[in-house]
Amino acid sequence: MKILYAIQGTGNGHLSRSMDIVPLLKKMGDVDVLVSGTQGDLNLPFAVKYKLHGFGFVFGKSGGVDLWGSFLKSRFRKFIKEINTLPIDNYDLVINDFEPVSAWACYLKNKPCIGLSHQAAVLHDKAPKPEEPDMIGRLILKNYAPVTAQYGFHFKSFDKNIFTPVIRQQVREQEIMNNGHYTVYLPAYDDKRLIKRLSEFKNVEWDVFSKHNKKVYHHKNVSIQPIDNKAFVKSMAHSAGVLCGGGFETPAEALFLKKKLLVIPMKNQYEQQLNAAMLKDMGVPVIKSLKPKHDEKILDWLNNGKPLKVNYPDNTQQILDMLFEQHAEASYFKTGLVAH
């Protein structure tokens, strides 16, 4: 069986999950990997056949998405060309992790496309929603990568097709300890802003992983280093806690590693607002920004925060087995597309 596994490459979450999924898929068929997006930092341990520009967003430097930068880098004509030239008919099965090029290529050719993503879960009717609705954000999420069937990952399972997170083996194998520092991953903030704010919290060692710098340096009680997957995972496993954005994989891995967690969802990013709503519902503290008005909550987390108890079993193979049982036969699909 010829399989295309398509990954959204904006950010590192989807790429992290693929590190466990792709090796398992390769035991089940002949797999080609497609990655689209321009913001990922991870080096994947397998070959990528299609490296596409896709259609994603750009991280800003003050806590949110850079909407203008995202528009400038969108290159819509290139995106359309990638859709039209992708040889989607060469594949018996297309599995899609919120990747738009392959999803729309399948849509235009009326070809089945199986969604296996976090986005399928956050839009589920039973998933918690943020207090402030975002109709445009929801519309974008629902139509960004259309699929014919969908399975989702979330911070907890609440429906038969919603599973707990895929925790990569690299994280599962870590020795967990507490060396007293706090690991920070806030890619929507620049280093200057992070140093200014974090250094205000005296006697706290901050280990910051930055998308905006390629060298290691220290300022007061803040250490800045470029993103390195191995170093980042070790830092989390040895930390007292994790301060991060409202993505999916990093908070999920922090919870699995039994670390107390504080989340700052990105502005102008509806998916992160949805993630934050679920985490808040589970008891994880959430703040809107790093502004001084939130200092009291940060101090309370530093002094009194506790890790959440979660159960994230290693069931990725079982999920893929179920997916293949349901969808390996193309004749199964006789219905139209369903939205996320």
Does a structural domain hold residue 114? yes
Task: Check whether residue 185 and residue 113 sit in a common domain.
Answer: no
Task: Check whether residue 122 and residue 28 sit in a common domain.
Answer: yes
Task: Check whether residue 142 and residue 183 sit in a common domain.
Answer: no
Q: Give burial (CB, 10 Å; 0-12/13-18/19+) of 243.
A: buried
Confidence band of 299 (pLDDT split at 50, 70, 90)? very high
Task: Check whether residue 120 and residue 203 sit in a common domain.
Answer: no
Does a structural domain hold residue 101? yes
Confidence band of 76 (pLDDT split at 50, 70, 90)? confident
**Residue 271 near residue 278, CB atoms below 8 Å:** no
Give 148-190 pLDDT, tens digit per residue.
999 999 999 999 999 999 999 999 999 999 999 999 999 989 9
Give 302-332 pLDDT, tens digit per residue.
999 999 999 999 999 999 999 999 997 643 3
Asked if pLDDT for residue 196 goes beyond 80, the answer is: yes
Return the CATH number at 210: 3.40.50.2000
Task: Check whether residue 22 and residue 137 sit in a common domain.
Answer: yes
Confidence band of 77 (pLDDT split at 50, 70, 90)? confident
- Domain extent, residue 233, equals 174-304
Does a structural domain hold residue 338? no
Task: Check whether residue 250 and residue 322 sit in a common domain.
Answer: no
Task: Check whether residue 14 and residue 163 sit in a common domain.
Answer: yes
Give 229-263 pLDDT, tens digit per residue.
899 999 999 999 999 999 999 999 999 999 999 99
Give 84-134 pLDDT, tens digit per residue.
999 999 999 999 999 999 999 999 999 999 999 999 999 899 999 988 878
Task: Check whether residue 10 and residue 139 sit in a common domain.
Answer: yes
Asked if pLDDT for residue 333 goes beyond 70, the answer is: no
Task: Check whether residue 20 and residue 134 sit in a common domain.
Answer: yes
Task: Check whether residue 136 and residue 181 sit in a common domain.
Answer: no
Return the CATH number at 42: 3.40.50
User: Total domain count for the chain?
Assistant: 2
Does a structural domain hold residue 270? yes
